[in-house]
Amino acid sequence: MAEKMKIKEHVESDEIISVSHLKIAFGSNRVLTDFNLGLRKGENVVVLGKSGCGKSVLIKCMVRLLAYDSGSLKVFGKEVQGLSQKELDSMRLRMGFLFQSSALYDSMTVRENLEFPLRRHHISSNKNEVNERVKETLENVGLYHAIDLMPSELSGGMRKRIGLARSLILKPEIMLYDEPTTGLDPITAREISNLMLRLQRTYNTSSIIISHDMHCARLTADRLAVINDGICYAEGTFNTLQASNDPFVKAFFN
Ligand SMILES: Nc1ncnc2c1ncn2[C@@H]1O[C@H](COP(=O)(O)OP(=O)(O)OP(=O)(O)O)[C@@H](O)[C@H]1O
Ligand SMILES: [Mg+2]
């Protein structure tokens, strides 16, 4: 019996994020009403939906920047809203979050921006080790040459890469991307999508990617989920959803 239970647990733990019957409202604004989604280990799920449907709210709930009203949201098998502050800190350490704005510290050089999370989380105080990790991460996003620049000297695409590097330096198991290619020209957007894919393989991360960019979705998604009216309205591979007859789903592929 004990053996059987262990096996079942193992199967369930294949889902690194499990969202079920999630509900969140702001006053009378009912954003998510009964939302369900799972993210398996190593998988990339792209989330689509109209502006204001709750995509950012969803991923903010995952790192508990926002609180949900009811339902369940488990990350690494644990209910996010049941975590103690200490557990929450260690969960966040295993997750990277790429904000739309990149949110770099403008008064710090690229090197200092990358060192900051290592120091804040007391990952390493050994100078050589820190240098090595900064170098390796910058090389992985193709920007080692920018190490001594200030954020104001970077282009939009470079800022995205440095923002990505700053999350990756902590070697997260899960990456949450909020519109990673929005505001970039199509070529740079494509480069960022390719980079996300390559980094997923290098770091073996699982990702939730919010994106309106269908090139990005086609390239990066193992699966897509469409939010509409507070629920997961449709779910499937890029090809399945592209072939859908549903007018709402079809609209994203036009
Ligand atoms: N902290 C908050 N307090 C009150 N309302 C909020 C808060 N955050 C989001 N909302 C509301 O929740 C709804 C969903 O917002 P959200 O930012 O998730 O949209 P989105 O799907 O990410 O849209 P976009 O594609 O424009 O980024 C919106 O109506 C927004 O006004
Ligand atoms: Mg948003």
Identify the DSSP state of 249. Answer: H
Task: For the chain, list the domains and their CATH numbers.
Answer: 15-94+175-183+207-254 (3.40.50.300)
Give the model confidence (pLDDT) of 149-204 as tens digits. Answer: 999 999 888 888 899 888 888 889 999 999 988 888 888 888 889 988 988 888 88
Q: Mean pLDDT across the stretch 93-122?
A: 86
pLDDT of residue 13: 55
Give the model confidence (pLDDT) of 194-211 as tens digits. Answer: 988 988 888 889 999 999
Which ligand sits closest to the CA of 52? 1
Identify the DSSP state of 65. Answer: S
211 Cα–ligand 2 center, Å: 9
Q: Hey, what are 244's tokens?
A: 């859908």
225 Cα–ligand 2 center, Å: 15
The alpha helices in 142-213, defined as continuous H runs, are 156-168, 186-203
Which H or E run contains 38?
Answer: strand 29-40
Task: Return all residues near 117 (Cβ < 8 A) that are at least 6 apart.
Answer: 123, 166, 169, 170
CB-CB contact of 110 with 148 (8 Å): yes
94 Cα–ligand 1 center, Å: 25
Collect residues with CB below 5 Å from ion ligand 2: 56
Atom of ligand 1 nearest to the CA of 49: 21
Rounded percentage of the chain residues whose pLDDT exceeds 90: 65
With CA atoms as reference, report the closest residue to 166 among 126, 128, 209, 118: 118
- How many whole angstroms separate alpha carbon 9 and alpha carbon 7? 5
Protein residues whose CB sits closer than 6 Å to any atom of ligand 1: 26, 29, 31, 49, 51-57
> Helix (H, G, I), strand (E, B), or coil: what is residue 12?
helix
